[in-house]
Structures are given as C-alpha cells and as structure tokens.
Structure 1
Amino acid sequence: MRAQLRQIVVDCREPKALVRFWAQLLGSEPVDRARGWSHVELPGLGQLAFQPVPESKVVKNRLHLDIAVDDIETAVNEAVELGAARVGATVIDDQGAFQSMLDPEGNEFCFVSA
C-alpha cells in the first residue's frame, strides 16, 4: 500500500474566519465547502482544511505547522496584524531559528528560518 497525504485538518469553531487568516498568511485563496468546512490549497502538499467543532481548543496541539520564512520578525508582525499572537521569544539554535505563534483560535504554529 502506498499512502499519500491529501489534507491536514484543523478542528475549529469558525472555519470561515480561520481559513481567511491562513489564506492570507500563506498567500492562497479561501474555499468554503459544504457542512461548514473550509480549506486552502497548499501547492504540492494538498489542502489545509478547517472542520467545525462545537468545543473550543483547551490544550496544546499534538501537531503543529512550521512555516518557512525569510525574515521571522517581519512574518511575526504581519501575522499579528492578521490576528495571530506571539508566544515567547524567538529561539535560535544550531538548526536555525523559530518563533512560536498562535492563530486566532489558539492553534500553535511556528515561523522558522535556517
């Protein structure tokens, strides 16, 4: 059997709002679907989909996205303007640098650079 990743699904309260944040962040177009779902296309990777759920997020994600950027501080500032929040300070180690972030519904993601 050969499996292929088709989409990454994020549970959220407001898919139509959250997809617009991610679409702007990733330079893609939001797509609203049936039954309250929304998604953005990730060229070469599939889709980042948003599924409506009744409960709010209450614990840390077990999985998060690392978003490669040329300049972390510029990316952080732009994401904050879109509704994201910075978590802690930028970490620099032998692998490069990363900045932990929260999207508007509190889902963790990181900006990373080499």
Structure 2
Amino acid sequence: MAAVARLRNVVIDCPDPRALAEFYARVGGGTPEVQADDWVVLQIPDGPRLAFQTAPGYTPPDWPRADHDSQQFHLDFDAGSTWEEVDAAEKKVLELGARLLHAADKEDWRVYADPAGHPFCLCRIEHP
C-alpha cells in the first residue's frame, strides 16, 4: 500500500522539554537539539525522531488504571537479549530518574515512568 505521508516526529508533551529530551538521549542515544524554548528534537540513532514540547498544565498518564483507560502512548527500547543486559539497563534508567511501574517474571518487558511520568518499556529481545 502506498503511503500518504512519511512520519516526521513522535511528539511528547511534558513540562520541561530540555530535561526530558536529555533523559531520552541518555536512554536511546543522540543529542537533543533545542529549536525553541518550548520545542526540543532528538533523533535516536537508527530509530525514531522524538520531539518534546511544553504543555502548560501537563498531567502525566496514570498507568496502570483500574478503568483501563489509555496510557496515551509508550516507547519500547530493546535492552538486549539476556536478563543481565536488561538488569544493567534498568539500573541505568533508574539512576537517570525513571521509576519502575511493572515487572513480572514471565514477561520479556518491564514498564517504567520517565521523569515526566510517561510509561516506557525495556524489552528483552532475542536476537538471531
């Protein structure tokens, strides 16, 4: 099927675009580019272009919620193929200010909140 357009950015609302872009640069790589006081762009190497914008009155998603309302969005990061790699990645994101939301023994992913409260996952991906 022919595309109508190409995806340019995944835009993330937050109270402090510079700080959140720096957090994700440390998680996924790249260098944040401040384009305006309320707009910072981060190109993840070999990945998506993320844009962070100031949202006055920002309220983070509440995940998980008993009523199962949408979490708005989340980002998945490949943290390696072994649990040792995932554990090392977890230690680093927690040091950067993430907060663990969900981990279960039989799941190949763990859910965290970034410093602005958006959920993201570190995933164990078996590489061929």
Q: TM-score, normalised by structure 2?
A: 0.78
What do residues 41-74 of structure 1 show as CA deviations (whole Å, max 9, x unaligned)?
A: 0234441010101113243432111101112111
How far apart in 1 are the matches of 2:102 and 2:45? 30
Asked if 1 retains the 8 angstrom alpha-carbon contact of 2:61 and 2:118, the reply is: no
Asked if 1 retains the 8 angstrom alpha-carbon contact of 2:29 and 2:44, the reply is: no
The structure whose Rg is larger is 2
The runs of 5 or more residues in structure 1 that have no matched partner are none
Asked if 2 retains the 8 angstrom alpha-carbon contact of 1:90 and 1:100, the reply is: no
Aligned pairs for 1:20-39 (under 5 A) are: 20-39=22-41
- Which residue number in structure 1 is paired with residue 49 of structure 2? 47
Calculate percent identity across the aligned residue pairs: 32
Aligned partner of residue 106 in structure 2, secondary structure: strand
Asked if 2 retains the 8 angstrom alpha-carbon contact of 1:10 and 1:49, the reply is: yes
How far apart in 1 are the matches of 2:42 and 2:60? 24
Query: Is 1:88–2:90 an aligned residue pair?
Result: no
Shift of 1:39: 1.5
Q: CA RMSD in A?
A: 1.7
- Which residue number in structure 1 is paired with residue 92 of structure 2? 78
Asked if 1 retains the 8 angstrom alpha-carbon contact of 2:42 and 2:51, the reply is: yes
Greater per-residue strand proportion: 1
How far apart in 2 are the matches of 1:62 and 1:91? 25
2:73 aligned residue (38, 56, 63):
63
Q: TM-score, normalised by structure 1?
A: 0.86
The runs of 5 or more residues in structure 2 that have no matched partner are 63-70
Aligned partner of residue 33 in structure 1, secondary structure: strand
Asked if 2 retains the 8 angstrom alpha-carbon contact of 1:91 and 1:98, the reply is: no
Shift of 1:33: 1.1
